[in-house]
């Protein structure tokens, strides 16, 4: 198929890229065209001139709420936060041994992980271009360690391809790249692109493709030393009389294309998945704890907001104890920043404008599910030499992520054993916690046969059953039409949170939305 850049719209081109290479490649193309970009953090705030005795009420002590509280308090405002839970952090949350968690429907899980092991039900990685989150980690002394996104020794798995056997990422990636490079190299070598490149450029392109695709001197991608150098050897290189390696058998292009394995080859190329990626040492909630150490004295915990009301130049939030449901109290302030997810805010009595109310009520929240399984030993390291990274599958669990901490240690380890979205997540949501773990074990054992012999305990979080969010992250029905109105001051209230950002589901989106709300609120107040 010929390609005429002048005759193809950007929209149709993105569709072509998405059809050929999947969502990750499409996102990459969008980034190149300027439709997706890194964090727009502009640096630390330096607010001046806060009027004396100006009271700001913040609803929700997740990262957005605590960011706003930290910056406004430092600027000289009187700040109070109301938080539904008995701890801060919102979706920046970690489950460890000894924790208990009750979800909607009354299911209670008692976490029994060994000391040092944990599950991050929400965010689990920090891209290196999420500058605001990284800066707060540095300021608050939150120690970070590398998170391994791509591991060429991890697996790609399709239950209907390769007899259902998982394939090493390095094998599929090398074979796909090699076959594609061979096709292009032979087209170039036969002057098939003579109108697109000069003779000199064509020669350089062939040489580059030969190296890139591990092609032999005939520009063939075949079983041999060239391909095995990248995909691995059938008999590894070694020393002594048995040290000579034996090449591994390459997979045909047809085999790869007829499977789903190629769909995840470029996931690590996504703008927010590119190395280096980080995670906090000890669990994601170390970030929440870092914020909480700064603003914890400003937070009223177990405060379930029941009503938000504006009157004159004040805003009032009524709340009851989230534990007992009694003793209604009120907090009154000059202004409010509301970080309550719209999925919950839509169920709270309020007097926001009809326009804001419509936006709040129209936003559904994405479904997601996570399960953490603790095994008696780190068999993925000991038996299969997988140290960190992610294996992908077409089974309902979607992926398996290997812990990048405590490598080579004896004793138990926790795998993120399932992380589906959409329809698969809804199916897991409908099950009891015990049934979820049973299904996760059933699917995961098709990739790692050691599952049943090594099982110790498990925990799961179905995000539509989480009382304080009722879903994973906000989904805009018509962002183009509604976004700017959602960011506008409504009465004496500004909205903030990951849903008020173009980085939904990321901590960076929550933090940036809070910084933006703080700046605009400060400007509004000081210009009066």
State residue 485's pLDDT score: 98
CB 346 within 8 A of CB 356: no
Across the beta sheet with 314-321, what order do the strands follow? 329-333, 314-321, 303-311, 349-350
Q: Which of 113, 114, 115, 66 is nearest to 91 (CA)?
A: 66
Buried b (16+ CB within 10 A) or exposed e, 368-384: bbbbbbbbebbbbbeeb
CA–CA distance, 362 with 480 (Å, rounded to integer): 14
Question: Is residue 151 over pLDDT 50?
Answer: yes
**All domains of the chain in start order, with CATH:** 1-36 (no CATH), 55-80+289-363+479-526 (3.50.50.60), 95-153+275-283+366-465 (3.90.660.10), 169-258 (1.20.1440.240)
Give the rounded percent of residues in the chain with a pLDDT score beyond 70.
91
Angle in degrees, CA 486, 489, 491, rounded to 5: 115
State residue 31's pLDDT score: 40
Residues with Cβ < 8 Å from 450, sequence gap 6 or more?
Answer: 375, 379, 383
The two beta strands, 78-82 and 299-300, are: parallel
| Prior bond of 276 cis (ω within 30°) | yes
Calculate mean pLDDT across residues 50-70.
97
CB 130 within 8 A of CB 427: no
| Greatest mean pLDDT among 30-34, 122-126, 251-255 | 122-126
Question: Is residue 61 over pLDDT 50?
Answer: yes
Q: Which of 499, 481, 79 is nearest to 294 (CA)?
A: 79
Q: Which of 90-94, 204-208, 295-299, 361-365 has the lowest mean pLDDT?
A: 204-208
CA–CA distance, 337 with 374 (Å, rounded to integer): 40
Judged by DSSP in three states, 520 sits in helix
CB 321 within 8 A of CB 302: yes
CA–CA distance, 282 with 187 (Å, rounded to integer): 52
Calculate mean pLDDT across residues 421-448.
97
In 3-state terms, the chain is what percent helix, strand and coil (to 5)? 35, 20, 40
Question: Is residue 20 over pLDDT 70?
Answer: no
User: DSSP class of residue 163?
Assistant: G
CA–CA distance, 517 with 320 (Å, rounded to integer): 26
CB 419 within 8 A of CB 370: yes
pLDDT digits (tens, 9 = 90+) for 450-490: 999 999 999 999 999 999 999 999 999 999 999 999 999 99
Residue 267 vs residues 231, 272, 284: alpha-carbon distances, Å: 18, 10, 22
CB 499 within 8 A of CB 474: yes
Write out the DSSP string of 229-265: HHH-EEE---SGGG---EEPPPPPHHHHHTSSGGGGT
pLDDT digits (tens, 9 = 90+) for 203-247: 888 888 898 899 999 999 999 999 888 898 888 888 888 889 999
State residue 186's pLDDT score: 84
């Amino acid at each position: 198929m010929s390609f005429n850049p002048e005759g193809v719209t950007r929209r149709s081109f993105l569709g072509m890229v998405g059809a050929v290479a999947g969502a990750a490649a499409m996102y990459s193309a969008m980034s190149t065209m300027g439709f997706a970009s890194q964090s727009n953090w502009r640096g630390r705030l330096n607010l001046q001139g806060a009027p004396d005795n100006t009271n700001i009420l913040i609803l929700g002590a997740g990262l957005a709420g605590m960011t706003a509280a930290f910056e406004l308090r430092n600027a000289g405002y009187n700040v109070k936060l109301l938080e539904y839970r008995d701890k801060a952090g919102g979706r920046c949350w970690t489950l460890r041994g000894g924790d208990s968690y009750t979800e909607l429907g009354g299911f209670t899980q008692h976490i029994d992980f060994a000391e040092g092991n944990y599950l991050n039900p929400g965010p689990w990685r920090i891209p290196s271009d999420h500058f605001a989150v990284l800066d707060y980690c540095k300021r608050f002394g939150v120690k970070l360690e590398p998170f391994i996104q791509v591991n060429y020794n991890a697996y790609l798995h399709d239950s209907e391809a390769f007899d259902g056997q998982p394939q090493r990422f390095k094998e599929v990636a090398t074979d796909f790249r090699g076959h594609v490079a061979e096709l292009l190299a032979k087209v170039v070598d036969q002057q098939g692109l003579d109108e697109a490149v000069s003779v000199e450029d064509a020669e350089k392109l062939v040489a580059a493709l030969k190296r890139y695709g591990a092609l032999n001197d005939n520009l063939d991608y075949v079983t041999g030393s060239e391909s095995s150098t990248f995909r691995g050897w059938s008999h590894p290189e070694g020393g002594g009389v048995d040290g000579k390696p034996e090449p591994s058998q390459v997979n045909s292009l047809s085999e790869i294309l007829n499977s789903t394995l190629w769909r995840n080859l470029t996931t690590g190329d996504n703008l927010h998945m590119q190395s280096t990626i980080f995670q906090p040492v000890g669990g994601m909630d170390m970030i929440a704890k870092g914020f909480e150490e700064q603003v914890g004295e400003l937070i009223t915990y177990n405060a379930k907001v029941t009503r938000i009301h504006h009157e004159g130049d004040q805003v009032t939030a009524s709340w009851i104890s989230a534990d007992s449901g009694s003793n209604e109290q009120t907090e009154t302030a000059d202004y409010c920043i509301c970080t309550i997810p719209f999925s919950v805010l839509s169920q709270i009595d309020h007097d926001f404008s009809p326009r804001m109310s419509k936006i709040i009520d129209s936003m559904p929240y994405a479904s997601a599910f996570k399960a953490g399984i603790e095994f008696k030993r780190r068999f993925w390291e000991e038996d299969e030499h997988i140290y960190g990274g992610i294996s992908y599958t077409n089974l309902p669990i979607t992926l398996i992520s290997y812990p990048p901490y405590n490598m080579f240690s004896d004793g138990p380890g926790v795998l993120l054993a399932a992380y589906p979205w959409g329809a698969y997540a809804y199916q897991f949501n409908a099950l009891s916690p015990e049934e979820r773990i049973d299904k996760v074990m059933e699917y995961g054992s098709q990739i790692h046969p050691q599952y049943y012999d090594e099982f110790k305990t498990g925990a799961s979080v179905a995000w539509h059953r989480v009382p304080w969010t009722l879903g994973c992250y906000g989904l805009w029905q018509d962002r183009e039409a509604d976004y700017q109105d959602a960011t506008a001051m409504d009465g004496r209230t500004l909205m903030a949170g990951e849903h008020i950002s173009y980085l939904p589901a990321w901590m960076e989106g929550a933090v940036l939305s809070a910084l933006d709300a703080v700046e605009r609120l400060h400007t509004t107040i000081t210009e009066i």
